[in-house]
């Protein structure tokens, strides 16, 4: 990491730390949502931006994490801390089981199949499968997280919990960028056939990307449950997946600042324009079209250091 | 047996509507290789516009003339909307990375959906019961309503017409050429832009008929119904093999019948989920759809 990067991350983290002290609890809750959705968007970026697979069902893994915590806590009476490992591992298993048979599908087919998974997931939740998902209303009254006698029940404490999850996500992504699997995913994205020829096990790394991103999304799901102390199917609908998909592409695939900026535009800016609540999605739609026309690679596209231009060109 | 035949008739009706909408997806995908996510919202828009036209002209025209005028006017308006969509959201992105065009399509979908909400409000609207006389025909123990007869006949006529247009006319041939290779088509002297505009005109007009049928058949319309009808029709297009016109028709009808049987024999609350299970199974077994050709990966 160069100095410029360290300084900008320092400023970014410092700004996030003071948020709960200068804003009221409503805005703190908006920023908590921003932190949670940033983690999910960054995890979506592992599959979409870094591995180059069109996954439009990412809300499944987010939802599985959230629902695991809520169900284990409310139905089986587990303490929240004990549910966290399950809320991470279950989405990983689900992502690998779901992705394995369809991983070879080409772009658009993968996109539609993952939407299909998401719709099946939501229908299962709404139909109260196994009688534990709470049907269309979801589950209410999840306990707060207790750690060493401290109860994470105030908005500020949940904010810092979400902040911790985002930092964890950033560390995971930083490690991924500088590690062998990260490079493998990058080559896979550039040219899957060529990467197979140089001995990269494409199937393994594709599933690896799905599994890792599901783990991060599952963890973010836990914080989501804690923030609202409730889960409901609508929060994990395929429209949400479409939103995460859009955030990554509008912000800039495989670019951390881009994805954070995308999340900011999609979740925090709408809150600022509450008075125009009715028209804001219309404006967003227009903004999405315009951004894609003027910056087809996203607002803050990733720049690859020393790779010559003729390689990175489409 | 009676339930079976009754569900078959209902399934065929819904299936023909899906097929009409699916044709718009499949034609655009064939030519531009783009999932036109805004198509479903154009379908929803057509239901609203059709309702407005019908209400405005209700007393002035005889019922038959009213229906014909509504259909033709809505088709013209939606076809225009389709062309505007292509001009503003897709044409500037034709050389951009493919995913950018997908985001642009999603943006266009948001614009249309929320535009409908801003103009007509978030509450559902109801089509008048008298839009089509509520007559039932009784064949054996199977009931067919006049509406169902209309849907089946008009869809069949439109699909046959489209089939002949694509296979027997010059413009249709140009369209097929563009679907195979746009650059080669351009070298052969085909005006690719004109072909793409024609594709959007025909696809949107057929979608408009589908939207009007949805309005008249189910009667309740909602500003965000575009997504779910659009996705179902898109699934139909994929099941048949996307980019393949007879495939979209076959896929639509199969999906409609499948849906009707699930609702009739199992439960309607699982119908949507099982539709997508069907899609996933077909994707695993035959990734390019029933009538789709195997495409060799380009190296």
Q: What is the pLDDT of residues A13-30, one digit of tens each?
A: 888 888 888 888 888 888
* C-alpha distance from residue B77 to each of A17, A29, A186, B87, B171 (Å): 53, 44, 46, 15, 22
Do residue B273 and residue A119 have CB atoms under 8 angstroms apart? yes
Q: Report the C-alpha gap between B40 and B226 in whole angstroms.
A: 4
Q: Which of B45, B52, B49 is nearest to B111 (CA)?
A: B45
pLDDT at B45: 96
How close B253 gets to chain A, by Cα (Å)? 19
Assess if residue A291 is contained within a domain. no
How close B141 gets to chain A, by Cα (Å)? 33
pTM given for the model: 0.89
Q: Report the C-alpha gap between B177 and B185 in whole angstroms.
A: 6
Tell which wins on pLDDT, A81 or A273: A81
Q: Which of B193, B200, B215, B205 is nearest to B159 (CA)?
A: B205
* C-alpha distance from residue B176 to each of A44, A73, B23, B85 (Å): 36, 57, 14, 22
Assess if residue B118 is contained within a domain. yes
Exposure letters A21-52 (e unless 16+ CB within 10 A, then b): eeeeeebbbbbbbbbbbbbbbbbbbbbbbbbb
pLDDT tens-digit series, residues A29-54: 889 999 999 999 999 999 998 888 89
Report the pLDDT averaged over residues B216-233. 89
Q: Is the pLDDT of residue A271 over 70?
A: yes
pLDDT tens-digit series, residues B14-55: 999 999 999 999 999 988 888 899 999 999 999 999 999 998
Nearest to A282 among B106, B115, B235 (CB): B115
User: Which residues of chain B make contact with A288, given a CB cutoff of 8 A?
Assistant: 103-104, 106-107, 110
Assess if residue B295 is contained within a domain. no
Q: Is the pLDDT of residue A70 over 50?
A: yes
Tell which wins on pLDDT, A192 or A233: A233
User: Which residues of chain A make contact with B29, given a CB cutoff of 8 A?
Assistant: 108
Assess if residue A111 is contained within a domain. yes
User: Which residues of chain B make contact with A116, given a CB cutoff of 8 A?
Assistant: 235, 276-277, 279-280, 283
β A230-231/B220-221 pair status:
unpaired
Residue B282 half-sphere exposure toward CB, CA atoms < 13 A: 26
Report the pLDDT averaged over residues B128-149. 81
Do residue A293 and residue B93 have CB atoms under 8 angstroms apart? yes
Assess if residue A221 is contained within a domain. yes
Tokens for A9?
């991350």
Nearest to A296 among B96, B111, B227 (CB): B96
pLDDT at A309: 58
Assess if residue A269 is contained within a domain. no
pLDDT at A178: 86
Q: Which of A166, A68, A73, A57 is nearest to A121 (CA)?
A: A57
User: Which residues of chain B make contact with A101, given a CB cutoff of 8 A?
Assistant: 284
Nearest to B231 among A109, A115, A281 (CB): A115
User: Which residues of chain B make contact with A126, given a CB cutoff of 8 A?
Assistant: 269
Do residue B35 and residue A293 have CB atoms under 8 angstroms apart? no
B256: left (phi over 0), alpha (psi -120 to 50) or beta: alpha
Tell which wins on pLDDT, A153 or B153: B153
Assess if residue A304 is contained within a domain. no
Assess if residue B294 is contained within a domain. no
Assess if residue A114 is contained within a domain. yes
Number of domains within chain A: 1
Q: Which residues pair with B142 in a beta bridge?
A: B139
User: Which residues of chain A make contact with B272, given a CB cutoff of 8 A?
Assistant: 119, 123
Tell which wins on pLDDT, B162 or A268: B162
How many A-B residue pairs are in contact by the CB < 8 A criterion?
A: 123
Assess if residue A18 is contained within a domain. no
Q: Report the C-alpha gap between A42 and A62 in whole angstroms.
A: 12
Identify the domain containing residue A149 by its residue range: 24-237
Tokens for A45?
């970026």
pLDDT tens-digit series, residues A284-295: 889 889 999 998
pLDDT at A310: 60
Assess if residue A230 is contained within a domain. yes
User: Which residues of chain B make contact with A105, given a CB cutoff of 8 A?
Assistant: 283, 287
User: Which residues of chain B make contact with A120, given a CB cutoff of 8 A?
Assistant: 273, 276-277, 280
Assess if residue B298 is contained within a domain. no
Q: Report the C-alpha gap between A101 and B209 in whole angstroms.
A: 37
For residue B267, the chain A residue with the least C-alpha distance is: A127
Assess if residue B66 is contained within a domain. yes
The distance of Cα A16 from the centroid of its chain, to the nearest Å, equals 18
Assess if residue B134 is contained within a domain. no
Q: Is the pLDDT of residue A227 over 80?
A: yes
Q: Which stretch of DSSP H or E encloses residue A15?
A: helix A3-22
Tokens for A254?
């495989």
Identify the domain containing residue B8 by its residue range: 1-124+152-285
CB B131 within 8 A of CB B144: no
pLDDT at A281: 81
How close A120 gets to chain B, by Cα (Å)? 5
For residue A135, the chain B residue with the least C-alpha distance is: B269
Do residue A102 and residue B279 have CB atoms under 8 angstroms apart? no
Residue A67 half-sphere exposure toward CB, CA atoms < 13 A: 26
Least confident segment among A1-10, A83-92, B214-223:
A1-10
Number of domains within chain B: 1
CATH number where B60 lies: 1.10.3470
Nearest to B107 among A101, A112, A286 (CB): A286
* C-alpha distance from residue A11 to each of A4, A98, A118, A313 (Å): 11, 40, 37, 32
Scan for tokens 């923030």, then name that residue: A227
Q: Report the C-alpha gap between A15 and A17 in whole angstroms.
A: 6
Q: Report the C-alpha gap between B188 and A297 in whole angstroms.
A: 32
User: Which residues of chain B make contact with A111, given a CB cutoff of 8 A?
Assistant: 35, 102
pLDDT at A308: 55
pLDDT tens-digit series, residues A168-194: 999 999 999 888 888 888 888 888 888
Assess if residue B70 is contained within a domain. yes
Q: By the CB < 8 Å criterion, does A242 face chain B?
A: yes
Mutate to test the interface with B, among A51, A56, A103, A119 (most CBs of B within 10 A): A119
pLDDT at B298: 46
Least confident segment among A62-71, B100-109, B212-221, B289-298:
B289-298
Assess if residue B292 is contained within a domain. no
């Amino acid at each position: 990491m160069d100095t410029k990067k360290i300084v900008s991350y320092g400023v970014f983290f410092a700004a996030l730390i003071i948020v709960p002290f200068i804003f009221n609890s409503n805005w703190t809750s908006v920023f908590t949502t921003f932190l949670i959705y940033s983690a999910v968007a960054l995890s979506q970026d592992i599959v979409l931006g870094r591995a180059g697979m069109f996954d439009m069902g990412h809300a499944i893994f987010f939802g599985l994490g959230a629902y695991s915590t809520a169900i284990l806590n409310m139905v089986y009476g587990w303490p929240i801390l004990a549910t966290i490992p399950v809320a991470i591992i279950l989405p990983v298993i689900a992502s690998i089981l779901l992705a394995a048979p369809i991983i070879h599908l080409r772009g658009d087919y993968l996109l539609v199949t993952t939407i299909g998974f998401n719709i099946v997931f939501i229908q299962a939740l709404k139909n109260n499968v196994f009688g534990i998902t709470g049907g269309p209303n979801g589950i209410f009254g999840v306990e707060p997280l207790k750690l060493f006698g401290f109860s994470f029940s105030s908005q500020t404490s949940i904010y810092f919990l979400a902040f911790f999850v985002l930092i964890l996500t950033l560390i995971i992504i930083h490690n991924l960028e500088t590690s062998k699997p990260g490079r493998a995913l990058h080559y896979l994205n550039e040219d899957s056939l060529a990467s197979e020829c140089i001995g990269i096990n494409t199937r393994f790394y594709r599933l690896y990307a799905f599994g890792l991103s599901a783990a991060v999304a599952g963890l973010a799901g836990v914080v989501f449950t804690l923030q609202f102390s409730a889960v409901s199917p609508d929060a994990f609908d395929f429209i949400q997946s479409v939103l995460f998909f859009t955030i990554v592409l509008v912000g800039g695939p495989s670019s951390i600042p881009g994805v954070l900026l995308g999340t900011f535009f999609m979740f925090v800016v709408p809150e600022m324009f509450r008075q125009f609540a009715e028209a804001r999605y219309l404006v967003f739609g227009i903004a999405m079209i315009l951004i894609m026309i003027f910056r087809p690679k996203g607002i803050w596209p990733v720049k690859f250091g020393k790779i010559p231009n003729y390689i990175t060109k489409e | 047996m009676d339930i079976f035949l009754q569900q078959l008739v209902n399934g065929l009706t819904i299936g023909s509507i899906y097929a009409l909408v699916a044709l718009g997806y499949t034609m655009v995908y064939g030519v531009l290789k783009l999932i036109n996510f805004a198509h479903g919202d154009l379908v929803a828009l057509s239901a609203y516009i059709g309702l407005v036209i019908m209400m405005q002209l209700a007393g002035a025209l005889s019922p038959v003339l009213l229906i014909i005028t509504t259909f033709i006017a809505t088709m013209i308006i939606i076809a225009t909307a389709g062309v505007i969509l292509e001009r503003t959201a897709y044409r500037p992105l034709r050389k951009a990375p493919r995913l950018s065009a997908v985001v642009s399509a999603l943006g266009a979908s948001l614009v249309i959906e929320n535009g409908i909400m801003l103009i007509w409000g978030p509450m559902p609207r109801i089509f008048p019961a008298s839009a089509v006389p509520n007559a039932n025909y009784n064949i054996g123990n199977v009931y067919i309503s006049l509406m169902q007869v209309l849907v089946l006949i008009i869809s069949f006529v439109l699909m046959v017409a489209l089939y002949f247009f694509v296979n027997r006319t010059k413009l249709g041939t140009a369209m097929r050429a563009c679907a195979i290779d746009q650059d080669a088509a351009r070298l052969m002297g085909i005006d690719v832009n004109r072909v793409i505009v024609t594709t959007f005109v025909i696809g949107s007009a057929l979608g408009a008929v589908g939207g009007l049928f949805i309005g008249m058949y189910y009667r309740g319309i909602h500003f965000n119904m575009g997504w779910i009808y659009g996705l179902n029709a898109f699934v139909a297009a994929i099941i048949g093999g996307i980019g393949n016109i007879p495939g979209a028709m076959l896929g639509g009808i199969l999906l409609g019948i499948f849906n009707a049987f699930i609702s009739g024999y199992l439960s309607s609350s699982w119908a949507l989920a099982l539709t997508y299970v069907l899609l996933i199974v077909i994707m695993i077994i035959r990734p390019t759809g029933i009538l789709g050709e195997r495409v060799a990966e380009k190296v």
